[in-house]
Structure 1
Amino acid sequence: MQPTMELVRLAGVFILLAMLHAFSSVGLSMAQNSHHRDHRIHVGVILDMESPVGEMAQQCMAMAISDLNASPSHINHHLKLILHPRNSMGQPLKALSSAVELLENEQVEALIGPQTSEEAELLGELGDRVPIISFSASSPFLSREKNTNFIRMTTNDNFQVGAIAALVQKFGWRELAIIHEDSSYGNGIIPDLLVALHEGNARVAHQTVIPPQARDIYVEAQLYKLMALSANIFIVHMSATLASRFFLKVNELGMMSTGYGWIVTDGIVNNLPMMDRSALDLMQGVIGIRPYVPPSKRLHNFSLKWRNSFFTNQHHQIPEVNVYCLWAYDSVWALATAAHPTTSIEKKDSANKFAPLAANPARATGSDLVRTILHGKFTGLSGEIQLKNGQLQQPLAFEIVNVFGRVKRIGFWTQFHGITTGLNKSTVAIQSPSVRDMGSIGWPGSSLAIPKVQRIMPKAGKRLRIGVPIKVGFKELVGVEFDPVTNATAVTGFCIDVFKAAIDMLPYEVKFDLIPFTNSNILMGGSYYDDLIYQVYSQQYDAAVGDITITANRSLYVDFTIPFTENGVRMIVPIETSRSTNMWIFIQPLTVDLWLVIGAFFVFTGCVVWKIERNDNDEFKGPLAQQIGRAMWYSFSTLFFVQREKLISNLSKVVVIVWLFVVLILTSSYTANLSSMLTIHQLQSLPKGESIGLPLNSPADQRYLIFQPFKKNSFYPLRKVEDYANALRDGSRNGGVSAIIDEIPYVKLFLSKYSAQYTMVEPSCYSTNGFGFAFPKGSPLVPDISAAIAKMREEERLYLIGQNWFQNHSLYTNQDSATKVARLDFYSFRGLFLITGITSSVAAIVSYNYVKKESTTSQQQEVADKPVEEKFSPVSDIPSRRTTSQHIRRYSY
């Protein structure tokens, strides 16, 4: 019994040892597998938990960790990302101390979320130890050159300057003010923004800088300064926290009313979904831009999950997911993808039972993580994630949104296509490249009209002082009338209407007062207009408007707009016949080649008529010399329509009818051209020593005419239209003038009243540059008004204004009656010669073929009429030949 009991005891011990061994093997295997699965990476998260962005970003990153663990396609089941959140409270120093604590105590291998640019810049000193990933620090001052381990999982602020400049240009705003935060974030965008606006012909007249911690009284003072400058178009670039306080003061001061325009950058627009209704009410009418996030099924599912999580927590208001939340989510996925441990590839020895334990994962270092993230590419919630130069590449498009009741999208902006209304679903190809209107845009004050820029002035309420000349005559150009009863001054005229029309076309409002310029030279000539220009130069006037001629000397002191009248001068002369002393003037109306062609066609037409008529018409028969003479006589007599020979053939009648039509046109043109040459009164026809009239204050100085064949020191001063007429009527011999030289507007205005007695010719002395508006050097109004004048010229508005003042003689039609008469050449009549040449040639060919056919038919008829025996009897044919010979001999005798 004892042996049996011993055997049982031994068997139990053996079984127990076997079970212990088995359990120990299983436990070791489970421990090894657990160690293999629990490969953990500790990540520090530094956020401003008290801000909406920080609170939302923390929850988004937690959802990213959850989705990583639950993803069936995720191959890193052994990888665990452990997040260690810290609250920076929006203080850079607090963020720095939190980062140091995480590195020392938690041994974190990466940092996510320095939320502001200032925090990211301060934490950059730690970047040589661990990678730093920021999803919201967008300042251009942050770069990988300073910190090689810094990764910006967000867009650079400079990416949006093109969209902002495009909006400013589209709305026609040429002058504006920039308001930005005085921080690394607020100052970083300014250099590139100024360049983009300048390239779009927009001028930044004022910059206002507001510190992040500025008190409300400081913000209010800066807004009062902008109101004093008459600024009404603004670009705002600041954090959302400062923007909420800023727009509160904007509303209190009434700067969100009709006439104001506001553009905000993406830093404010990205936070609009998290703002409550009261905050949105403060920004009604604001235009903004934000990066475009393409829709996807994954994003849709995430949004549903996001809403369900808030519904579970029984939140009263569910905030919309903004792009910062999406970038925070994608930052976690990018880090998890880069931290995937790589299994060492080693040869496995099947005989070695410890071979499975030799395949230990290689842990990625900080530099390895950065390198992998920078070269990685995947599709995240925000779209395609691909880094370039350590930051997200420029978005495919920016959304243009309008806060009007709610935040609504009104368009897109792409780098290559500009502003569009829509994008293709698969690409960013535009759907409407020529967009004129972006839809219904709500502006401040519930207005639907685009605000017009008010010129920003250095003083509050300043109006432009516009100097206008006082004219004794030619008040159709500039007329100044004083009312002694009301003591009011009325300024009218063509130049004034053009200036007002140009001002109305500007995309901003310019207020001005027209002030007549008076000095001692008003009735003395001399330097009256030069004095007016000097008043603009010395800043006594803000501009000068009137019949002011653009000259090189005046351009040294002021800037002129482009001329709004014709350039040059003309000479007024009486309409009279001037006998030419050239004995060969009757040849000049036609060129030599035309004379030769006409002569050749006279001969050709005569030959054709003779060829057709000589067979049947006895008048074209006779000796050869007589026939040639008769043909030439008939041809040249058509010039005077005195031909007497009767034509028999219808072909020759057709030829002559066409030729007479050509002769009629040639003689009429010759007569008209010769009359013009005989009656025109040109400058060179004036005899030497004649007096020439020059208007008062005319830029035509005597030194320009010193070499002209006119009598020196006899220039007749003129002031009014009546003075012009009286001087020309008296003539040079009776104390008047033989001609008057003046600029085209004055000449045409004079001719509108005296066109029956006088005409104008173009002198060869000199020219002028037309009338222009004068402004101080560097005035921004010059290019704008010049552009308006050019547009008015294209739309013929200048012509219509001129017709209103000058009636029959517009300043923009060529009514120069003294242009040199051009000689008529063959090129002008080539169609006529082609018609008559073809007609005559066809008639000659038809006549020749008809005669030849008729001759052949006659010969055949003679042969057919002979007797048959005469045709074929050789005996009978001999007497016939003898008889014919005898007949010929008798005829010769």
Structure 2
Amino acid sequence: MIRRSSFFLFFFFCFAAENSSSSIPVNVGVILDFDEVGRMWLSCISMSLLDFYAAHGDYKTRLVLHTRDSKDDVVSAAVAAVDLISNVKAEAIIGPTTSKQANFVIELGEKAQVPIISFTASVPSLASIKRPYFFRSRDSDKTQLKAIAAIVKNFGWREVVPIYVDDLYGVGILPYLFDALQAVGASVPYQSAISPWASDVDILKELYKLKTMQTRVFIVHMLPSLGARLFTKAKEAGMMSTGYVWIMTDGVTNLLSLLNDSTIDSMQGVLGVRPCVRKTKELKNFRLRWKRKLHREQPDLVDAELDIYGWLAYDATMALAMAIEEVAGNSTNLVMKEANVSSNLLLETIGVSKNGKKLSEALSSISFKGLTGDFHFVNQQLQSSAIQIVNINGVEPKGIGFWTSERGLFKRWKLNSTTNVYSTSQSKLATIIWPGEPTSNPKGWDIATSGKRLRIGVPVKDGFTEFVKVTRNVKTNITDVTGYCVDVFDAVMDQLPYDVAYDYFPFANSEGESAGTYNDLIHQVYLGEFDVVVGDVTILAKRSIYVDFAMPYTEASISMVVPIKDTKNDNALIFLKPFKLDLWVTTFCSFVAVAFVIWVLEHRINKSFRGPPSQQAGTSLWFAFSTMVFSPQEKVLNNLARIVVIIWSVVVLIITQSYTASLSSLLTVQQLQPSVTDVTELIRNREFVGYHKDSFVKEILIGLGFQDSQLLNYTSIEECQELLSKGSENGGIAAAFEQFPLVKLILARNCSNYASVEARTFMSKFPNQKKIANNIQQFKTRGFGFAFPLGSPLVPDVSRAILKVTESDVMGRIEDKWLSTKSICAATLGRVKDL
């Protein structure tokens, strides 16, 4: 069939030369794999020349094609390139097929200054350095990788595993894929490289390895021959079921027509990206003509479907014909060399084309309307206007949306759209049929193999069971887990955009008692025994080495609970307490000042204010003071003095009323104050203090300077209250140090006898603040939090769900249910002072 096609081309150009004796034949090489696809592409190249010269019969140049079979081999492609450049004296080369073949052919083209035009090689690294003689009549893989990253961001997937062919084509995209995913906040926990020569057993082994991992989003980048086997084995391994996400690059998407029905059936639910080519009348007409041509020349391919690469080959050939004609201009501008019949394949014999530079410049300026749209090289490669996203659903891929760098993801293509906003709303894509046909979008991860439920570890507690309470029914052997922390976790799970199945498991020994400390419980997550820990577990820096915490769902503070002392005053000088010293002095000075003013205004005209100096002073002061309790006997005759008396009477009324109210409060209201407000006082007096058993607070107290012998632990609220009631002198404690949620519980039970003193900064009253600060730094708390394995994809979603719960009335109802405080406690809880 190839010989028939070559003969047809030869006959066509001989006929053209006979009818145009002035035509200049220009040798052009074509390097393709002469398989089914390569033969279809070659037919498109020949049709491009037929159409071009039929429309431009007056052009002086005629391209003469010299085809070579690269046989899907890098060496064969390189040998073909050397032959075309050295012996055929080709002015340009179209091809080769793959990126790994193109890598060496491009170098030969640069050496000989012969333009290499590829319509299939997509690896970005081929154009990573300046290569003036390499042209790519398609966009690089960078664009489609950005579209895939937009899909990943759209559905909130945070981890992606690339599955790629282990050659230049596959490996070449990895740096650009990592950059695109990093830009949308996604990471790559694992890379799966599959050899081009891998057996079905090798593929299945790698898939089973991927199945044991938690990531369920896979990006497939390989050619159809290997991709078909991969998807077939993925279905066999049970990885085309609910929860899995498969996204394939255009390496497979562009050539779906080559796959058989059984392979397509195994790919149901897969997403794919490919360059968007609008269906035009010209394209439809070309496909009909191409079908007729194929039926005449290659009847064995009559059932074949043309793909985008055939259209790109058509446009690339036409662009080359235009460029060569432009360089020809005048007949003297194009210097042609005759072919060398000696078939020398030595690299040393490769010369430098005299027309290469002009031809390269001409190609860079070519612009026309091709089958695939506007054809114009930008930085020596074609720019894709948009990426189409398809979903394998049935026998044909269904378009579900598009992506452009300007608009992001969108569902329908509108020519008059001027939207310039980057969209990542899921509503911007049409309905997607995922693998397994689930009703909801896949979350992109799983704990392990499909169907596993989360194992939630909870502490077993003797006291403070309001947070976590484990009840075991001996008859039914069913364990019931309830409490504040459990209800919060259940509410958070309900807020997740996907369903998570889980079961609670007490951290207990065979006798039903606690199997260890909170640190031991946290370590079980690190060891893989539990998937999550739920309970009154405090977020600490040293614990975060082994687990990842979601954001806290309680207030983060440590307070000191101390007994309340009654400071009711029985002092004889209690009458002086309502006013401070400065107010007493001000009031007394005011009396003297008023007395002086009245004397100045009255003593000349009023006999009552005359007499010896002592009598005048006494009368004036008596007049000023007596206004507080009764009307003075001395009459005021001066009008200005009367105004002063009126103003002074109002002031005296205010003073007496304020004094009376304050004194009444002091005499009638019981004065409740914390018995201790200073930690240094406890340390200095070697008082006993308490902490919750197994709590990290013990380490904080030792860091503050308490001796281990001063520390007593308790397991319940009742035991804490008993120790506080005894006092430090009677074998009890002077204060209990606890986190705020536990403090609320203690005060809720008996707030009339205890008060809390919050410790915002422990070092503020210590003489050696720097040393204390260093001891305290490692024990900072951030409140209660749920513990997950390191790197768990659940953590970000759970943190967002916690925000939703804490900002709604759900959290209030949970607190009222488990941590409710009596109304009489409101005043006590409000008395918070810094240590």
Which range, TM-score by smaller chain? 0.7 to 0.9
Alignment of 1:373-412 (within 5 A): 373-393=363-383, 395-405=384-394, 406-412=396-402
Q: Which residue of 2 aligns with 1:183?
A: 167
Q: Which residue of 2 aligns with 1:445?
A: 436
Q: Verify: 1:750 aligned to 2:746, yes or no.
A: yes
Q: Which residue of 2 aligns with 1:207?
A: 191
Q: Which residue of 2 aligns with 1:17?
A: none
Q: Verify: 1:77 aligned to 2:59, yes or no.
A: yes
Report SS of the residue matched to 2:198.
Answer: coil
Report SS of the residue matched to 1:339.
Answer: helix
Q: Which residue of 2 aligns with 1:772?
A: 785
Structure 1: how far apart are the matches of 2:288 and 2:371? Answer: 16
Q: Which residue of 2 aligns with 1:287?
A: 271
CA contact (8 A) 2:327 2:359 kept: no
Structure 2: how far apart are the matches of 1:796 and 1:94? Answer: 72
CA contact (8 A) 2:61 2:328 kept: no
**Displacement after TM superposition at 1:134 (Å):** 0.8
Q: Which residue of 2 aligns with 1:819?
A: 832
CA contact (8 A) 2:146 2:180 kept: yes
Structure 2: how far apart are the matches of 1:262 and 1:359? Answer: 57
Q: Give the TM-score normalised by structure 1.
A: 0.69
CA contact (8 A) 1:46 1:115 kept: yes
Report SS of the residue matched to 2:471.
Answer: strand
**Displacement after TM superposition at 1:388 (Å):** 4.0
Q: Which residue of 1 aligns with 2:287?
A: 306
Structure 2: how far apart are the matches of 1:319 and 1:342? Answer: 37
CA contact (8 A) 1:466 1:512 kept: yes
Q: Verify: 1:35 aligned to 2:31, yes or no.
A: no
Q: Verify: 1:698 aligned to 2:706, yes or no.
A: no
- Gap regions ≥5 residues in structure 1: 1-29, 346-357, 604-619, 643-662, 822-893
Structure 2: how far apart are the matches of 1:738 and 1:164? Answer: 63
| Corresponding letter in the other structure for 1:480 | V
Q: CA 1:422–1:622 in structure 2 vs 1: closer, same or farther (change >3 Å)? A: farther
Structure 2: how far apart are the matches of 1:781 and 1:40? Answer: 66
Structure 2: how far apart are the matches of 1:733 and 1:577? Answer: 19
CA contact (8 A) 1:424 1:430 kept: no
Q: Which residue of 1 aligns with 2:96?
A: 114
| Corresponding letter in the other structure for 2:90 | V
Structure 2: how far apart are the matches of 1:268 and 1:528? Answer: 54
CA contact (8 A) 1:455 1:508 kept: no
Q: CA 1:632–1:163 in structure 2 vs 1: closer, same or farther (change >3 Å)? A: same
Q: Which residue of 1 aligns with 2:119?
A: 135
Deviations 1:625-657 (A, max 9, x none): 552244225534664999xxxxxxxxxxxxxxx
Q: Which residue of 2 aligns with 1:727?
A: 723
CA contact (8 A) 1:173 1:507 kept: no
Alignment of 1:358-757 (within 5 A): 365-393=355-383, 395-405=384-394, 406-422=396-412, 425=415, 429-430=419-420, 433=423, 435-437=425-427, 438-455=429-446, 457=448, 467-499=457-489, 502=492, 514-518=504-508, 528-533=517-522, 544-555=533-544, 559-573=548-562, 577-579=566-568, 586-587=578-579, 623-633=638-648, 635-636=650-651, 639=654, 678-681=671-674, 683-684=676-677, 692-701=689-698, 704=701, 715-731=711-727, 735-737=731-733, 739-755=735-751
Report SS of the residue matched to 2:485.
Answer: helix
Q: CA 1:485–1:176 in structure 2 vs 1: closer, same or farther (change >3 Å)? A: farther
**Displacement after TM superposition at 1:264 (Å):** 0.8
Deviations 1:269-293 (A, max 9, x none): 2223565655543322111212233
Q: CA 1:786–1:757 in structure 2 vs 1: closer, same or farther (change >3 Å)? A: same
Structure 1: how far apart are the matches of 2:642 and 2:155? Answer: 85
Report SS of the residue matched to 1:142.
Answer: helix
Q: CA 1:76–1:741 in structure 2 vs 1: closer, same or farther (change >3 Å)? A: farther
Structure 2: how far apart are the matches of 1:670 and 1:58? Answer: 107
The structure that has the greater radius of gyration is: 1
| Corresponding letter in the other structure for 1:567 | A
| Corresponding letter in the other structure for 1:769 | R
**Displacement after TM superposition at 1:569 (Å):** 1.7
Structure 2: how far apart are the matches of 1:240 and 1:273? Answer: 10
Q: Which residue of 2 aligns with 1:329?
A: 314
Equivalent residue in structure 2 for 1:47, among 32, 45, 48: 32
Structure 2: how far apart are the matches of 1:495 and 1:736? Answer: 30
Q: Which residue of 2 aligns with 1:652?
A: none
Structure 2: how far apart are the matches of 1:367 and 1:414? Answer: 34
Q: Give the TM-score normalised by structure 2.
A: 0.73
- Gap regions ≥5 residues in structure 2: 1-15, 337-353, 595-634, 763-779
Q: Verify: 1:760 aligned to 2:760, yes or no.
A: no
Q: Which residue of 2 aligns with 1:258?
A: 242
Structure 1: how far apart are the matches of 2:362 and 2:641? Answer: 112
| Corresponding letter in the other structure for 2:831 | A
Q: CA 1:529–1:520 in structure 2 vs 1: closer, same or farther (change >3 Å)? A: farther
| Corresponding letter in the other structure for 1:268 | V
CA contact (8 A) 1:144 1:389 kept: no
Report SS of the residue matched to 1:205.
Answer: coil
| Corresponding letter in the other structure for 2:714 | L
CA contact (8 A) 1:748 1:809 kept: no
CA contact (8 A) 1:258 1:446 kept: yes
Report SS of the residue matched to 1:61.
Answer: helix
Report SS of the residue matched to 2:93.
Answer: strand
**Displacement after TM superposition at 1:759 (Å):** 4.2
Q: Which residue of 1 aligns with 2:622?
A: none
Report SS of the residue matched to 2:830.
Answer: coil
**Displacement after TM superposition at 1:157 (Å):** 1.6
Deviations 1:336-388 (A, max 9, x none): 1211255788xxxxxxxxxxxx9776667133222321344444332333334
Structure 1: how far apart are the matches of 2:17 and 2:159? Answer: 72
CA contact (8 A) 2:460 2:513 kept: no
**Displacement after TM superposition at 1:89 (Å):** 4.1
**Displacement after TM superposition at 1:477 (Å):** 1.3
Please provide the CA RMSD for this pair: 4.7
| Corresponding letter in the other structure for 1:684 | T
Structure 2: how far apart are the matches of 1:714 and 1:215? Answer: 70
Deviations 1:202-222 (A, max 9, x none): 343333222233333333333
| Corresponding letter in the other structure for 2:134 | F
Q: Which residue of 1 aligns with 2:254?
A: 270
Report SS of the residue matched to 1:411.
Answer: strand
| Corresponding letter in the other structure for 1:564 | Y
Q: Which residue of 2 aligns with 1:7?
A: none
**Displacement after TM superposition at 1:699 (Å):** 2.8
| Corresponding letter in the other structure for 2:30 | V
CA contact (8 A) 1:307 1:318 kept: no
| Corresponding letter in the other structure for 1:751 | L
Once the two structures are overlaid, the 10-residue window that deviates more, 384-393 or 327-336, is 384-393
Q: CA 1:751–1:177 in structure 2 vs 1: closer, same or farther (change >3 Å)? A: same
Task: Tell me the percent identity.
Answer: 37
Q: CA 1:523–1:180 in structure 2 vs 1: closer, same or farther (change >3 Å)? A: closer
| Corresponding letter in the other structure for 1:631 | I
Deviations 1:70-113 (A, max 9, x none): 33xx5962221223334444344444444455456654322212
**Displacement after TM superposition at 1:552 (Å):** 4.3
Q: CA 1:675–1:446 in structure 2 vs 1: closer, same or farther (change >3 Å)? A: farther
Q: CA 1:820–1:761 in structure 2 vs 1: closer, same or farther (change >3 Å)? A: closer
Q: CA 1:123–1:555 in structure 2 vs 1: closer, same or farther (change >3 Å)? A: closer
| Corresponding letter in the other structure for 1:704 | L
Structure 1: how far apart are the matches of 2:717 and 2:702? Answer: 23
CA contact (8 A) 2:161 2:215 kept: yes
**Displacement after TM superposition at 1:818 (Å):** 0.8
